[in-house]
Chains A and B, each alone.
Chain A
Amino acid sequence: MRVRTLAVALLAGGLALTACGKEGGPGDTGTAPSQQVAADVKVDGSPTFDKIKARGRVIVGVKEDQPGLGYKDPTSGKFTGFDIEIAKLVAAKLGYGDDKIDYKAIPSAGREQALINGDVDYYVGTYTINNKRKEQVGFAGPYYTAGQDLLVKKDDNSITGPETLKGKKVCSVTGSTPIQKVKTDGLTEPENIVELQTYSLCVEQLEQGAVDAVTTDDAILKGYASQSPTTLKVVGKTFSTEPYGIGLPKEDKALRGKINDILDEAINGGAWEAAYKATLGVSGSDADKPVIERY
């Protein structure tokens, strides 16, 4: 009997403790613009769009762990960020409102396979366009141009760019392009390279002082910097060009053309800027409008 009382007390205590979540997560940045849903959209010869129509809902692949870009609030389960805004914008112009979008969080390493298998209709999540990937998937866009940058502690003035990394510990995600670049360009010694599972683990290491810099695309770093503006800063000297595109099934040229039209209209109209200002723009830095590259 006493054991049962103890178990009940522990359970109740546990529930009480977990209930005190903090209000408002890092996802709560600016107010997101609402999109007008288009009616009677036709995309001739697009198998993906036919699938969407038959299903009545859009399945969008996104990231869930990148504040400011694609971030899932652990308490409310809501997705926020620039990538999410772009995903919404595209869905609206295809005729599907917020309530008809299903987000599917897919990490970087699973993106190609998810598109090939048809698990998602399109993918918006810091997906760099390159020729090697074009052999497996299609890309619309770019909808944003990022570049590799460095995130350091606010009071650290010794790191001003890639050439000042020698002797410093640098962290990024296991096998990611930025850390492969640090390795091949010899920006720092091999024993100073730290590869962890997620960027947030790297940022934690940086805040603890276990590493001196976190490196990846500036868009991702800006997201973290805007979470802790008093302790972290982005160096602001990009040393690569990473055009972010919307990943699509490779053969679906019709949908690719349609999404390119949608993006073009958004960039030249005000929708792109509104989406940026509500999300990444909160960090205080501006971004250049990208130019759509059709192929």
Chain B
Amino acid sequence: MDVLLDNLDLYGPGFLNTVELFLISAVGSLVLGTILAMLRVAPVPVMRAMGTAYVTIVRNTPLTLVFFFFALAFPALGIVTADTFGGSAASLFYTAALFALTLYTAAFVCEVVRAGINTVPVGQAEASRALGLTFGQMLGSVVLPQATRAVVPPMMSTMIALLKNTTIAAGFSVFQAGSISANLAERGENQLIGLLWVAGFFVVLVIPMTLLQRSLEKRWSIAR
């Protein structure tokens, strides 16, 4: 208990930043991932190719490598530097972390959504076309609403993975839960206990997500 109470200045802001990173990149990757999934089922070949290329290149590239690109390589090439953010190195690294997490997770979200789209019977798309709906209307009002229901559990797994992936930002100058143990080591605290607390808080963060998943599944369950 002492390890936690003596270092509340680490745990408090650390987990607040983790939650903030998670929320922003979750929204970003859900939006981008859905757009990518729409691209992958689009009737235009070029759009399909774009979606496929993105998923092929980005999916399961080691996240640390993606971080390297945004936090270190781009500044080194002069594409974006701290000067882009008014000379603030902290903003540069924070933005880099958001981009890395969002782009990485979007590839997984895209595939989850696409799997959902595939569960919707083709007849649904044909029927909406027969009714005269455009491709966008068909996706937006007929297919995606049904697709989302089917993919709540895998989507939540992707989001939980994202939550835990945020800790990689610790190595790239973003202070959050992943930085706590390094700070504790230098303060001479017992790290095993320190890390147990970190793990404990992650479980606490995952519980509401699991509850959300359960309630969504219940609310959206339909007879097929």
Give me the interface of A with B, judged by CB distance under 8 Å: 108-113, 130-133, 135-136, 169, 173-177, 180, 190-197, 201, 204-205, 208, 210-211
The reply to whether the CB of B75 lies closer than 8 angstroms to some CB of chain A is: yes
- Indicate if the CB atoms of B186 and A113 lie closer than 8 Å: no
Chain A positions within 8 Å of B56 at CB level:
none
Q: How many chain B residues have a CB neighbour from A under 8 Å?
A: 30
- Indicate if the CB atoms of B82 and A169 lie closer than 8 Å: yes
Give me the interface of B with A, judged by CB distance under 8 Å: 72, 75-76, 81-82, 87-91, 93, 170-173, 175, 179-192
Chain A positions within 8 Å of B191 at CB level:
109, 112-113
Q: What residue of chain B has the Cβ atom nearest to residue A177's Cβ?
A: B186
A132-B188, A135-B188, A196-B173 known; A174+B89 contact, CB < 8 A: no
Q: What residue of chain A has the Cβ atom nearest to residue B187's Cβ?
A: A132
Number of A-B contacts defined by CB within 8 Å: 81
Other 13 A-B pairs with CB < 8 A, given A173-B182, A191-B91: A112-B185, A113-B192, A130-B188, A136-B190, A175-B181, A175-B184, A191-B87, A191-B90, A192-B88, A195-B175, A196-B171, A196-B172, A208-B76
- Indicate if the CB atoms of B185 and A111 lie closer than 8 Å: yes
A169-B82, A180-B183 known; A194+B88 contact, CB < 8 A: no
Listed by A's residue number, 16 A-B pairs whose Cβ atoms lie within 8 Å are A108-B186, A112-B188, A169-B89, A174-B179, A175-B179, A176-B186, A180-B183, A190-B90, A191-B90, A192-B89, A195-B175, A196-B173, A204-B72, A205-B72, A210-B76, A210-B82
How long is the Cα–Cα vector from A294 to B172 in the complex, in angstroms?
Answer: 40
Chain B positions within 8 Å of A197 at CB level:
171-172
- Indicate if the CB atoms of B75 and A210 lie closer than 8 Å: yes
A112-B191, A176-B186 known; A193+B89 contact, CB < 8 A: yes
How long is the Cα–Cα vector from A194 to B186 in the complex, in angstroms?
Answer: 17
Chain A positions within 8 Å of B82 at CB level:
169, 210
How long is the Cα–Cα vector from A168 to B86 in the complex, in angstroms?
Answer: 13
A196-B172, A197-B171 known; A109+B181 contact, CB < 8 A: yes
Of the residues B88, B170, B171, B184, contact of A191 by C-beta under 8 Å: B88
How long is the Cα–Cα vector from A201 to B184 in the complex, in angstroms?
Answer: 22
Chain A positions within 8 Å of B72 at CB level:
201, 204-205
- Indicate if the CB atoms of B183 and A175 lie closer than 8 Å: yes
Q: What residue of chain B has the Cβ atom nearest to residue A135's Cβ?
A: B188
- Indicate if the CB atoms of A210 and B81 lie closer than 8 Å: yes
Of the residues A109, A135, A201, contact of B182 by C-beta under 8 Å: A109
Q: What is the distance, in angstroms, from B95's C-beta to the closest C-beta of chain A?
A: 12
How long is the Cα–Cα vector from A175 to B187 in the complex, in angstroms?
Answer: 9
A196-B173, A210-B81 known; A175+B186 contact, CB < 8 A: yes
How long is the Cα–Cα vector from A112 to B191 in the complex, in angstroms?
Answer: 8
Chain B positions within 8 Å of A190 at CB level:
90
Chain B positions within 8 Å of A132 at CB level:
187-189
How long is the Cα–Cα vector from A108 to B181 in the complex, in angstroms?
Answer: 11
Chain A positions within 8 Å of B179 at CB level:
174-175, 195
Q: What is the distance, in angstroms, from A96's C-beta to the closest C-beta of chain B?
A: 29
How long is the Cα–Cα vector from A173 to B172 in the complex, in angstroms?
Answer: 10
Chain A positions within 8 Å of B93 at CB level:
194
A169-B89, A210-B82 known; A194+B182 contact, CB < 8 A: no
How long is the Cα–Cα vector from A273 to B90 in the complex, in angstroms?
Answer: 42
